[in-house]
Structure 1
């Protein structure tokens, strides 16, 4: 009864915020980029397998049966497909995306690049094939191919905190909300992102990468929550979360360990943690009733400061990624 009453009050507050805040109607609505990679029609026209019918394992097997010369030929003739197809060996994806990105991310290992919309990109720091541990950072609002710096700073900070032993993936692989408008308050973009994230983790497993720890920031934690029952991960770490579209850990349907962090100066704490009439994302993951393992984040600052170098928060993230926290 207490939770029901609190939900009604918070829902009323959410409605008041929506009605009284111009930002909710700022005209920044985004259309999720989904579907097969750019260039799929030409791929099919060449008599190649229908991508939308292949699992990541089948993609791996298809490329594994090709000669090196044929693989290189497909990289040259169909870089948009090869570079964005989960299950393709990372080295081939890097080569393909270096062609399609046109030097946009010079010197980077680009695991995915999709120029549609605001653009999506996935960058890798370290060796996915050899690293004993893999971490994937799933960002929140405003991150895209043209604004990767906030995400790449987090990725490099986490990799350095592990002493370079963990391969870290900066996964801007979905259409994020812009600002804190209606897109950020609803789950539409997160649902589209969840499908992509689940496919991505399937691809990691298919190519033999270590089972990852996912670090899901802000709206990215909504994506992770919706994908949780399908993703292949050993840890789900949510930070600065507006909710995961679940009442508790059990509703996530995952065998991964679930962790939650929120620093006392994070403005996300003022967001009502409810889901009502399609608005809001549910229970705060740091709420004891949710059942996540709590990570102390007292030395983080603000909504975007969880990966600040030298903090205990970042050291804890690194220990989780390396399997040093039980």
Structure 2
């Protein structure tokens, strides 16, 4: 009996090492729900004029949906060490899709006459593509943040200083890269135990009331403040605000967003659901839904008056959720894997295993 246990243990360990790590349903659920909120927020944007209620919902969603996505992205970037394999995946998973979709969005905006003379420029991210640039920069700097003693306060200081620097300009959308940086660095600093904390029953019970209070606060704030602070793409001066307000609003927005991100994660189911597998395809939904959102304006889909009623807003919300869900499905991923997640084996040297140490 004892001999069997001794000899079986290494075999089981070897088998476990060979099996691919099982995905955590909680994080796939969180990514899917976050991408649905991104698509819904974009769909609401043309309905904000004349509707304080839609504007409040829009402000609430924008306060936490991208921070949630970025925190989770940071969490899964903790093991990035600039090794050849990870650098290769960085190129194939971010650089190549950026070049493809930046070019595609440029030609699409020309076709829809939104910016007929816009040149193809890889230095000026268009619409949704800024996130690929940001994630590329953030991941490259991951080894540095892992060496810093207090990474989140340092990243917050960088974001605060960025709001004071309008001269940063639009190259690579660096304002947004720097202002969203603290959320990524926070994700790098988190461990599984921190996510277990926000998933406790007490936090789940509080999440609903907190969202309700936040919605009331957003409704109050709509005519009194600019929601552009949550876009994190402009300096204080570019928003017409005094310089000192930039660092202050950075801290305020960070605090508000973290509370809402915590409440959002508390409500995310931890078990496998019908949409869990769709969490693997959120990059597809993110990059593709923008064509429909931009095209909807060009094609006049927002013209019917009924669409600007509460029933119309509800119908549009369901439609946006259904569309982005479809874009995350396996058939879409198989069809477009060559441009979103290409292998490009021909472009890289074959990796050779390192010799074992003495």
TM-score range, shorter chain: under 0.3
- Name the TM-score, length of structure 1 as normaliser: 0.25
Which has the higher relative contact order, 1 or 2, with Cα contacts under 8 A spaced 6 or more apart? Answer: 2
Which one has the largest radius of gyration? Answer: 2
Which has a greater percent of strand? 1
